[in-house]
Amino acid sequence: MSKADSWRYDKGNNTYESCKGLNLGSGILLRSHKDTPMAFYNGIHFTSYCDNGMPVYSALLKTADSFPYLDAIQQDWNQFISVDDSDRGPFKYSIYAILLSFTANFVIVLSLTIIVFITVRQKPYRGASNLLKLGSSLASINLTIFVAKALNLLKSEHVNKAIVSTDEVLDLLGSDMAFTCLDFFVVLICQLCQVQIVMRLFSRVREKRLVFLTGFILSIISQVLWAIPSFTKLARNHFTGGSYDDDGLILLSPFVYLLRITFSAFYASIIIFNVFIKRQLCFHNQRMTLLTVITILIIFLQPAFFVADVTNIWVDDLSEIFNTTCYVGSAVIVWQWVDHLLILERKVQAQSVLGRPVYVDDQEDNYFARYALKTQEPTTVNDVTSSSNSSGPYGNIPSQIPAAPDANKVEFSERPPVKERVWQGCTRIVDGMLYYTDHFIIKGLAIKTLSLHSKNSSDDYSKRKAKVRRRIGLDRPNEIYVYATRDVVFDSDEAEDVGAVQESGEDVFHHEEARTFA
Amino acid sequence: MPSKLLLLTCALTTVAMVFQILPVISMPLVNSIYLSRYNGRLFGVFGWCVVSTGVCTPARIGYAMQCAVQDTDGIDTATICDLEEFTSNFLPSRAKRAISKLLVVHPMSLFFTTILWIATIALNTRVFARSRRALACAVLWSLPAVFLSLLSFLVDVLLFVPYLAWPGWLILVSTVFISTASCIMCGVRRSVSLQKYEKLRGKEVIELVPMQSDKIQSETLNLSPGDSQSQRAASLASPYLVNKPYYPSS
């Protein structure tokens, strides 16, 4: 983001003489071109290459035989790197730190993408997992293109100007159309994934529906508000070259920034609340504990960057690229955490006596079935008997089936009043939204219960196999038992066959017991 | 129990509202309350004042550069507040002056919190205490209230850190209080709906068999077999019976 377009003033107010120009005086021999002869100049005015009035690195090779720098330039450079209040001077703000941040973000996002494709299960959340894969893939592509462009820019500056400019690289964040467009979609997809993660944490269908509608609308609003200043600035930079500060768009940029921080704080609060109420499961084993700790760290990353931003302007420049990493991380890692948490929860519920909690919303399918029965009943009743008082056990359910048209009644095709039409339109819109919410999001993503047989639960499979082997006795093949045979003696035969009972061996089992044991 | 929780909700929203009133009435409305003091200036939500001269800008959204000074006739005249050049050191965080318009979220947040406070008072009355719809409305209203309150705090942080004064930090406390009240109201709504469902189910005739009083009941039946109806009624009222369906806590 260019400093001129930022909603904050530059940090450094120092003026450097070498950037404004130095009068070197007379007595200098110069050759302007290799074909022209060397000439003597009386007055030389030298201006060093600067970015926004600040010195830049020189990419020239300096050896013991090369000419020394001018004293004024050397003095400016020393002042530039020594002032702690400076914007780019100290080493931690240099191009090396920025390149390290870019490449670290690139590697992190690439790793998260690989994790998504390897570990995230396709079922039962097919749509959400595809969305997650799409978002992480787009983020990886975006950062790959950006790193390639940044390196290309550094190369061209190295070759053509013999400098290494920090501002030119940072300007790419706000001026590159491809990066801005892809970043828009990446953040939107990650926000929708976050909405689905929050939906999975709620049990009741109504809550899931509310979370989806609220989260979806807020995500769209947030991204639209973000797009207005970003694309306006981009369009002006590309086409007219107008100033960004001319209108009130400068106010929108920090507002959206704070909006995103607020949403991420809400998201972190919901996750932390769930960690607290399900702490037994979150710290169930070592693997889950590690995943929970990573989840807590990643969800607080964006609020932490806000705190770092308000104390250090350097982070503001990299906020876009850090945002991508934060969003992808808080979607992918938290998705994995929720996946593991729900599997553990289902296991505990499966082992308990009471099983899974059932809510009122879960009985809606039952209501639908009863409603269907209710609709069938009048026709059946009318066919069999003509009695009308056949409410039966479903009499409380209001029938919404339109009554059959009466042959003796004259009906006019009048248009309903405006109020009724508006009401019908609103009802139709709300019903449509609920339909799509239920079918595409809740039914497809959330209601389906998690299968206990996950892909990576091979240890569970081996445990079950061992249990079965132990139950049927295959785990002790070398232990040999000698069974005795005993004839069944009835009372009537007792007198005759008293001595017919035979016993042998040390380990004696009755025939029935042995069968029971097997 | 829900009435006590609703009382707690009312108390929390009352404190939260008071904490939000303080920044809104800060400079230039009340001279002793300010959001930040930096570089010889005192900043409030609707304006700022110069410490040395005590001159303030007129109250408006966004910081103005003209100060209202009364002349000898008592008429307000506008003048430049400070001779110093307003550049990067106007606000503590070096944000541009136009960003101060974001402070408009403070009165908006106060409005939402006030409505929420009225709603929590209404929930403590007999009419709305058991109304699931009223509770749901209050919970839904509390969401934008929490959102705006948090946004107000973030705006304060963005503009005035590291010189944010105590009224700014009170907004954070207010946010925590409102979110706590919202969670409590959500829980109360669930418990109210649960109680209504229990009442509904209580009307159904369910044959419940006492688990611990089997022996006692059989003995009493042997003693007086003719009075079986009254015994059955007594056994249904017995505390040993489990006459509530299971509802898992969520």
Considering only residues B9 and A5, tell me which one the structure prediction assigns the higher pLDDT.
Answer: B9
B162/A8 CB distance under 8 A = no
pLDDT at A456: 47
- Percent with pLDDT over 90 in chain B: 29
pLDDT at A391: 44
Show residues of chain B in contact with A269, CB under 8 Å. 179
Residue B200 covered by a domain: yes
Output the average pLDDT for chain A.
75
Going along A57-129, which residue ranges are E strands?
57-58
- Residue B236 in this model has a pLDDT that exceeds 50: no
Residues of chain A with CATH 1.20.1070: 91-242+250-351
- Nearest Cα of chain B lies from the Cα of A8 at a distance, in angstroms, of 4
Helix ranges (H only) for A353-400 are: 364-384
- Residue B226 in this model has a pLDDT that exceeds 50: no
Residue B78 covered by a domain: no
pLDDT at B207: 52
Cα A410–chain centre separation: 60
Considering only residues A341 and A54, tell me which one the structure prediction assigns the higher pLDDT.
Answer: A341
Considering only residues B48 and A395, tell me which one the structure prediction assigns the higher pLDDT.
Answer: B48
A261/B250 CB distance under 8 A = no
Query: By CA distance, what is B148's nearest residue in A?
Result: A262
* pLDDT confidence tier of residue B196, bands split at 50, 70 and 90: confident
Q: What angle do CA B195, B138, B148 make, to 5 degrees?
A: 145
Residue B117 covered by a domain: yes
pLDDT at A452: 41
Q: Which fold has domain A91-242+250-351?
A: Rhopdopsin 7-helix transmembrane proteins (1.20.1070)
B157/A310 CB distance under 8 A = yes
Query: By CA distance, what is B86's nearest residue in A?
Result: A9
pLDDT at A363: 60
Q: Which of B62, B19, B71, B70 is nearest to B44 (CA)?
A: B62
Considering only residues A264 and A319, tell me which one the structure prediction assigns the higher pLDDT.
Answer: A264
* pLDDT confidence tier of residue A501, bands split at 50, 70 and 90: very low
A310 touches chain B (CB under 8 A): yes
Query: By CA distance, what is B159's nearest residue in A?
Result: A310
pLDDT at A1: 46
- Nearest Cα of chain A lies from the Cα of B223 at a distance, in angstroms, of 37
> What values do phi and psi take at A45, rounded to 5?
-115, 115
**pLDDT 10s digits, A63-104:** 777 777 778 888 888 888 776 655 667 777 788 888 888 899
- Residue A157 in this model has a pLDDT that exceeds 50: yes
Residue B102 covered by a domain: yes
pLDDT at B79: 60
pLDDT at A513: 42
* DSSP characters over B132-178: HHHHHHHHHHHHHHHHHHHHHHHHHHHHHTTSB-HHHHHHHHHHHHH
Q: Are strands A39-41 and A44-46 parallel, antiparallel or unpaired?
A: unpaired
pLDDT at A252: 85
A254/B102 CB distance under 8 A = yes
pLDDT at B204: 56
Here the tokens at position B227 are: 């009075």
A214 touches chain B (CB under 8 A): yes
**pLDDT 10s digits, B105-150:** 999 999 999 999 999 999 888 888 778 888 889 999 999 999 999 9
> HSE (CB half, 13 Å, CA atoms) of B115?
15
B99/A306 CB distance under 8 A = no
Here the tokens at position A289 are: 């504990």
Give the mean pLDDT of B199-228.
Answer: 54
**Running DSSP on this structure, what letter comes out for residue A416?**
P
- Residue A164 in this model has a pLDDT that exceeds 80: yes
Considering only residues A94 and A228, tell me which one the structure prediction assigns the higher pLDDT.
Answer: A228
- Interface-testing mutation among B87, B94, B192, B200, with chain A (most A C-beta atoms within 10 A): B94
Give the mean pLDDT of A25-37.
Answer: 76
> What values do phi and psi take at A16, rounded to 5?
-110, 130
For B187: left if phi > 0, alpha if psi spans -120 to 50, otherwise beta; the answer is: alpha
* pLDDT confidence tier of residue B16, bands split at 50, 70 and 90: very high
Give the mean pLDDT of A104-123.
Answer: 88
pLDDT at A186: 93
Q: Does ipTM exceed 0.90?
A: no
- Interface-testing mutation among B178, B180, B250, with chain A (most A C-beta atoms within 10 A): B250
Residue B45 covered by a domain: no
Output the average pLDDT for chain B.
77
Most trustworthy range by pLDDT among A9-23, A27-41, A496-510: A27-41
- Residue A351 in this model has a pLDDT that exceeds 60: yes
A313 touches chain B (CB under 8 A): yes
Query: By CA distance, what is B197's nearest residue in A?
Result: A360
Write out the residue range of the structural domain in which residue B102 sits: 1-24+96-205
- Percent with pLDDT over 70 in chain A: 66
Most trustworthy range by pLDDT among A20-29, A100-109, A349-358: A100-109
pLDDT at B108: 94
List C-alpha distances in Å: B129 to A285, A429, B139.
43, 32, 14
A306 touches chain B (CB under 8 A): yes
Residue B111 covered by a domain: yes
pLDDT at B153: 92
Considering only residues A115 and A251, tell me which one the structure prediction assigns the higher pLDDT.
Answer: A115
Domain tally, chain B: 1
Query: By CA distance, what is B249's nearest residue in A?
Result: A357
Considering only residues A474 and A220, tell me which one the structure prediction assigns the higher pLDDT.
Answer: A220
Give the mean pLDDT of A112-121.
Answer: 88
Of B87, B99, B150, the CB nearest to A265: B150
Of A204, A214, A254, the CB nearest to B158: A254
Residue B215's identity, in one-letter code, is: K
Give the mean pLDDT of B22-40.
Answer: 87
Give the mean pLDDT of A46-69.
Answer: 77
pLDDT at A314: 63
Residues facing residue A25 across a β-bridge = A44
* pLDDT confidence tier of residue B99, bands split at 50, 70 and 90: confident
A270 touches chain B (CB under 8 A): no
B143/A7 CB distance under 8 A = no
